[in-house]
Amino acid sequence: MRWNLKPFYITIKKDLQVEMETINVAREILERLKELFIQYEVKGWIIKTDEALNKLSGEKPNLKRILYNYQGAGMGSLSDLFICKKNGHKIEGNPDEANKELTRLGDALFTVYYRLR
């Protein structure tokens, strides 16, 4: 996935365009994560992702603050999640594919977050 972020010296108009592009990329990643969580019944994260998507749809969303809950620091972050039957998720057989997709989407979301720093 390529990010179309402009250098810091762009005009205000272009800066707002980049901000919207970044928000749209984050929204797409969150929507895909939500689909994954629904597929495997990762209930707490469905709710958390719904809340994040609703905040992104609001007026003047604070993307950095919204994505902070997903970053890999501390207990309960996205990086702590492992999809498997033992954790109460609806999955049959080997959970490797589900967790590869979770890692891929999580990495993409972390990339957006860290570019905002």
- Domain ranges in the chain are 12-116
What does the pLDDT profile of the chain (117 residues) look like in tens digits?
444 444 433 444 445 556 778 888 999 999 999 999 999 999 999 999 999 999 998 888 888 888 887 775 567 788 889 999 999 999 988 999 999 999 999 999 988 988 876
User: Which tokens sit at 114?
Assistant: 């860290």
Q: What is the pTM of this model?
A: 0.81
Rounded Cα–Cα distance for residues 35 and 48 (Å):
13
Considering all CA atoms of the chain, what is the largest pairwise distance in Å, rounded to the nearest integer? Answer: 52
